[in-house]
Amino acid sequence: MTTPRSSTDRPPTFGEQLRWRRAQLGRFHLTLGLIALAGFLFRAGYVLVAKRNLDTCDRELCGDAFWYSASANVFAFGQGFENRFGPPDQYSQAADHPPLTTLLIAPTNVVFLRHSVLAQRMGMCLLGTLVIVLVGLLARRLAGDGAGIAAAAVAAINANLWMNDVVVMAETVGAVTLLCVLFAAYRLADQPVLRRAVVAGLALGFAGLARAELLLYGPLLLLPLCLSLRAVPLPRRVLLVAASGATALVSLAPWTIYNLSRFDEPVLLSTNDGLTIIGANCDRVYGVDDPGGVGFWNLQCRFDADAEFGIPLQGDQSTQARKYREIGLRYVGDHQSLLPKVITIRVARVWGAYGPDQMVWLNQGEGRDTWASVTGYVMWWGMLIPSVIGAIVLWRRRVRIWPLLAAIPVVTITAVLFYGIVRFRLPADLSATLLTGVAIEAGRQKWRERGA
């Protein structure tokens, strides 16, 4: 690529260079950049207006955001992954959640030379902007420039995305890594070679380091994708599966090995599985004590277990996790007759089909404003039919749609195994956003054809 030259063979002016670079970028990239900028400005403005002081829970941070923010602060100043919520003599090793979100938030503290929740929120807004760009690029890859622009615009305004971008939690990081998995999966399908299988496995591993449930995309996407490549000999397909799986495990290994040296019992990704299981399986969420909380999660279940079984509040997290896990699974075994109802409500909750008013209230406990939750609920159902249309359009064009539809079993299985909350629906929100963009562009093209 040559640099621009003027008609008089003099060095090009800044304006000439700018016009040349604009011509190289093209209309799609410029439009995508403007949409991303608008999306960032909206998210940043929302933070500056609504998140500067107390959040929806009447504290600076709500729910898991408190842990992510504190862990990033601790890590940024050289203390590693430690629980520093108590006095110094009670500090302990911590792996409450997978590490990627903490690692990505930590640099904001270094830049500002102090712990700044505002800076952390802005960092999440930047990652949310990256989601807009990736959605646009993926939609373009599948259905052309128009679909890419439309999908990016939907991503910029979709409340189910931006209301996660303004809280300091793992959903936005999970969205970025999941989009990388989808990109890698489509590239692998286009050219099933070993190096692309390795990249897909690497992306999957990093997705698991953001949100553990995203590892379900291994057996539910990469495995069937590789095996469905009929033009590839079966031994080669098996090799692609093995390569992607092995690479995913290798990318997870440093964190797992690090944890094995810190805890009394094995910790693969986090110690939060025990707390999740005990909080999702007790009287309060099985309709025994609190009919309004069926299918959800309740922190009080943990405190009830602490009191009943004498579990110390301090100590090795892996040991606590094992005890919580055992108590929760024992409760499931003792209340199997209630499981069908509880599981049904969990699934209905995650898909927005049960108790939307309850979910709006529950979202406040994690820092999501009421109006944002209501807007997200309306947008989810508003995008349902366009998403179906977008899937049909891609299917008719012989574009693989399973990488996008894999979100359905991933989200459902997550709700069945744990509990129902709309933020677990994020993979489906991304797919719906992308498919809606495809449907919008298909509708625009049909309208132009009729007009012609």
**Residue range 241-276, pLDDT digits in tens:** 999 999 999 999 999 999 998 999 999 999 999 999
Mean model confidence pLDDT for the chain: 91
Which carries the bigger pLDDT value, residue 452 or residue 45?
A: 45
Question: Is residue 18 pLDDT above 80, yes or no?
Answer: no
pTM: 0.92
Residue 332, domain member (yes or no): yes
Question: Is residue 89 pLDDT above 70, yes or no?
Answer: no
Residue 42, domain member (yes or no): yes
Q: What is the pLDDT of residue 308?
A: 86
Residue 435, domain member (yes or no): yes
What confidence tier does 287 reach under pLDDT thresholds 50, 70, 90? confident
What confidence tier does 112 reach under pLDDT thresholds 50, 70, 90? confident
Question: Is residue 106 pLDDT above 50, yes or no?
Answer: yes
Residue 443, domain member (yes or no): yes
The three-state DSSP-derived secondary structure of the chain is CCCCCCCCCCCCCHHHHHHHHHHHHHHHHHHHHHHHHHHHHHHHHHHHHHCCCCCCCCCCCCCHHHHHHHHHHHHHCCCCCEECCCCHHHCEECCCCCCHHHHHHHHHHHHHCCCCHHHHHHHHHHHHHHHHHHHHHHHHHHHCHHHHHHHHHHHHHCHHHHHHHCCCCCHHHHHHHHHHHHHHHHHHHHCCCHHHHHHHHHHHHHHHHHCHHHHHHHHHHHHHHHHCCCCCCHHHHHHHHHHHHHHHHHHHHHHHHHHHCCCCCCCCCCCHHHHHHHHHCCHHHCCCCCHHHCCCCCCHHHHHHHHHHCCCCCCCHHHHHHHHHHHHHHHHHHCHHHHHHHHHHHHHHHCCCCCHHHHHHHHHCCCCCHHHHHHHHHHHHHCHHHHHHHHHHHHHCCCCCHHHHCHHHHHHHHHHHCCCCHHHHHHHHHHHHHHHHHHHHHHHHHHHHHHC
Residue 21, domain member (yes or no): no
Q: What is the pLDDT of residue 1?
A: 46
The type of residue at 179 is L
What is the domain count for the chain? Answer: 1
Q: What is the pLDDT of residue 20?
A: 64
Question: Is residue 4 pLDDT above 60, yes or no?
Answer: no
Least confident of 7-21, 267-281, 310-324, 328-342: 7-21
Residue 447, domain member (yes or no): yes
Which carries the bigger pLDDT value, residue 3 or residue 32?
A: 32
User: Which tens digits make up the pLDDT trace of 421-442?
Assistant: 999 999 999 999 999 999 999 9
Task: Calculate the CA dihedral of residues 386, 389, 395, 400 and round it to 10 degrees.
Answer: 10
Which carries the bigger pLDDT value, residue 291 or residue 121?
A: 121
Residue 238, domain member (yes or no): yes
Q: Which domain holds residue 89?
A: 26-451
Residue 6, domain member (yes or no): no
User: Which tens digits make up the pLDDT trace of 203-246?
Assistant: 999 999 999 999 999 999 999 999 999 999 999 999 999 999 99
Q: What is the pLDDT of residue 145?
A: 94
Q: What is the pLDDT of residue 259?
A: 93
